[in-house]
């Protein structure tokens, strides 16, 4: 059984479940009311939904719903960004809904999930399917494609984080009093807001899902599934950087780097298809490199004017900035 609605960007979402009785769909109890969030890098066809459900849930005694998104993110970062905005969007829709009013076209709230006690502040979770291996079932040899990504993340929008709370930067939970008394607890300078696990053995999917579903009870609030209504709302979206402002900021950064005796012109650039990506090196491509980074330049996403030139300036400036902070000469 299934029903459909749209996400914050107007894309279709399918809420589905394979059930023996209609009550399991319309009046689910306990874990059967939970909704797992599922994305795929390629489109999931209607005739594939049942196989996908069995692939994920075949060993579960209390089978949850699957919310399957038609939006196909290119990677895990895009998946998390979409999910964060969807969480906020649905909370806003619920706040606008009148008491006692029910509209089937409105999507339900997205429940929280803490996948481990170590990641106690990562309350978001979703799957990202990276191949069609789920169509083959649970084969032990798992030679049918890449396994799905299990993505845990902090549901707060990154723009909402102005200052990191110390409690989130502790290396161990603050409740471990014996550890604190004997050894102290390290306060990290940064936090991890995304964690990705990749399934490499399809035969373990069932046991992994069983363990995952036990985590929903750690976030129960008064015997009910937690939808994160206590989470602070994100701030209003900041203004998009204009072309002129972006150009000005990059020029300031370039002058700062050049003041540190770093020559931006010694960097070698190799452009990708349609000039949407560029590889920057400080060595010949025939040699080995010491460090490699993949950088997403999100602030250029909404700028069309001279985007290639801005991306080149960003690439040169950022790479030179990294090199200037390295303790010894490194190829990058």
Give the whole-angstrom CA distance, residue 317 versus residue 258.
Answer: 9
Q: Between 304 and 248, whose confidence is greater? A: 248
CA atoms in the 13 A half-sphere facing the CB of 316: 21
Q: Please tell me the predicted confidence (pLDDT) of residue 213.
A: 83
Give the whole-angstrom CA distance, residue 28 versus residue 125.
Answer: 21
Q: With 80 as the cut, is the pLDDT of residue 17 above it?
A: yes
Q: Between 159 and 330, whose confidence is greater? A: 330
Mean pLDDT of all residues in 287-311: 83
Note the Cα 59 to chain centre separation in Å.
Answer: 26
Note the Cα 309 to chain centre separation in Å.
Answer: 29
Q: Are 198 and 75 contacting, i.e. CB atoms less than 8 angstroms apart?
A: no
Q: Please tell me the predicted confidence (pLDDT) of residue 252.
A: 87
Give the whole-angstrom CA distance, residue 309 versus residue 209.
Answer: 47
Q: What are phi and psi of 212, to 5 degrees?
A: -60, -45
Q: With 80 as the cut, is the pLDDT of residue 180 above it?
A: no
Q: How confident is the model at residue 13 (pLDDT cuts 50, 70, 90)?
A: very high
Q: With 90 as the cut, is the pLDDT of residue 125 above it?
A: yes
Mean pLDDT of all residues in 267-296: 84
Q: Please tell me the predicted confidence (pLDDT) of residue 49.
A: 92
Q: How confident is the model at residue 239 (pLDDT cuts 50, 70, 90)?
A: low
Q: How confident is the model at residue 8 (pLDDT cuts 50, 70, 90)?
A: very high
Mean pLDDT of all residues in 4-11: 93
Q: With 80 as the cut, is the pLDDT of residue 38 above it?
A: yes
Which range of 86-90, 120-124, 168-172, 226-230 scores highest in mean pLDDT? It is 86-90
Which range of 62-66, 144-148, 166-170 scores highest in mean pLDDT? It is 62-66
Reported pTM:
0.70
Residues 21-27: contacts with CB under 8 Å, at least 24 apart: 24/63, 25/1
Distances (CA, A) of 35 to 111, 133, 150: 7, 22, 15
pLDDT tens, position by position, 186-238 = 776 666 678 888 877 766 777 788 888 887 766 655 667 888 888 877 655 55
Q: Please tell me the predicted confidence (pLDDT) of residue 257.
A: 77
Percent of the chain past pLDDT 70, that is, above it, reads 77
pLDDT tens, position by position, 19-34 = 777 888 888 887 888 9
Residue 55's contacts (CB-CB under 8 Å, 6 or more residues apart) are 134, 137, 138, 202, 205
Q: How confident is the model at residue 251 (pLDDT cuts 50, 70, 90)?
A: confident
Q: What are phi and psi of 181, to 5 degrees?
A: -70, -40
Q: With 90 as the cut, is the pLDDT of residue 287 above it?
A: no
Q: Between 40 and 60, whose confidence is greater? A: 40
pLDDT tens, position by position, 102-115 = 677 789 999 998 77
Give the whole-angstrom CA distance, residue 125 versus residue 325.
Answer: 35
């Amino acid at each position: 059984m299934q029903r459909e609605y749209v996400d914050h960007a107007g894309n279709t979402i399918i809420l589905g479940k394979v059930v023996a009785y209609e009550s399991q769909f319309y009046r689910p109890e306990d874990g059967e009311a939970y909704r797992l969030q599922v994305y795929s890098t390629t489109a999931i066809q209607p005739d594939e939904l049942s196989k996908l459900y069995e692939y994920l849930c075949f060993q579960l005694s209390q089978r949850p719903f699957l919310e399957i998104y038609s939006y196909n993110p290119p990677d895990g970062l895009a998946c998390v960004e979409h999910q964060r905005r969807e969480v906020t969007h649905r909370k806003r829709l619920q706040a606008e809904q009148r008491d006692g009013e029910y509209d089937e076209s409105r999507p339900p709230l997205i429940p929280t999930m803490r996948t481990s006690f170590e990641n106690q502040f990562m309350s978001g979770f979703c799957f990202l399917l990276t191949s069609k291996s789920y169509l083959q079932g649970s084969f032990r040899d798992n030679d049918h494609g890449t396994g799905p990504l299990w993505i845990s993340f902090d549901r707060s929008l990154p723009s909402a984080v102005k200052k990191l709370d110390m409690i989130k930067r502790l290396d161990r939970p603050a409740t471990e009093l014996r550890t604190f008394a004997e050894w102290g607890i390290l306060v990290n300078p940064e936090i991890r807001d995304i964690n990705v696990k990749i399934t490499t053995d399809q035969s373990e999917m069932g046991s992994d899902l069983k363990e995952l579903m036990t985590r929903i009870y750690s976030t129960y609030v008064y015997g009910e599934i937690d939808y994160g209504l206590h989470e602070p709302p994100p701030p209003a979206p900041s203004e998009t950087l204009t072309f002129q402002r972006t150009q000005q900021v990059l020029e300031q950064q370039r002058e700062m780097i050049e003041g540190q005796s770093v020559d931006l012109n010694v960097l070698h650039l190799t452009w990708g298809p349609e000039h949407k990506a560029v590889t920057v090196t400080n060595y010949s491509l025939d040699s080995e490199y010491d460090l490699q980074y993949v950088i997403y330049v999100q602030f250029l996403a909404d700028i069309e004017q001279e985007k290639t030139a801005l991306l080149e300036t960003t690439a040169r400036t950022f790479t030179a900035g990294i090199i200037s902070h390295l303790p010894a000469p490194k190829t990058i």
